[in-house]
């Protein structure tokens, strides 16, 4: 895995991205290859659209590399980097935003302030105990 990541970082330093560089990162059907392609595309894309297009236009596991590249780009740039026309079309957006907000609260303020041990409105309805 480390070799694949090293290859991706080396490719980043080789100038503007090309389809040949994506293909040269290895077999994008293996976990190592998928990670290398996704990382490379996230780092070299001129913007979110470009990075995702690079990640899905190859002969490997393009859906997987696209999903992982999208996750990396989202972590790097946040929701505001998404093209507005893509956001408008996102199925289940309110649910995704609610989950993201709840996760952020959980990670920054902890369950003692709003989690299942309190009477926070809706918490137990959204996340019932098993």
Q: Summarize the annotated binding site for Mg(2+) as residue ranges.
A: 64
Q: Which of 69, 20, 19 is nearest to 48 (CA)?
A: 69
Q: Return the HEC string of 51-95.
A: HHHHHHCCCCCHHHHHHHHHHHHHHHHCHHHCCHHHHHHCCCHHH
Q: Euclidean distance between the first and final Cα of the chain, in Å?
A: 36
Residue ranges for the known binding site are 64
CB atoms within 10 A of CB 126: 12
Six-digit token pair at 25?
């990162």
């Amino acid at each position: 895995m480390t070799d694949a990541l090293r290859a991706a970082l080396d490719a980043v330093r080789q100038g503007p991205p090309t389809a040949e560089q994506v293909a040269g990162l290895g077999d994008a059907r293996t976990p190592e290859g998928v990670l290398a392609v996704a990382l490379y595309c996230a780092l070299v894309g001129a913007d979110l659209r470009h990075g995702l297009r690079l990640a899905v236009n190859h002969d490997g596991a393009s859906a997987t590399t696209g999903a992982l590249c999208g996750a990396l780009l989202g972590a790097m740039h946040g929701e505001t980097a998404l093209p507005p026309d893509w956001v408008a079309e996102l199925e289940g957006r309110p649910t995704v935003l609610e989950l993201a907000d709840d996760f952020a609260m959980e990670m920054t303020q902890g369950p003692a302030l709003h989690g299942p041990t309190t009477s926070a409105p809706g918490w137990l309805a959204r996340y019932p105990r098993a």
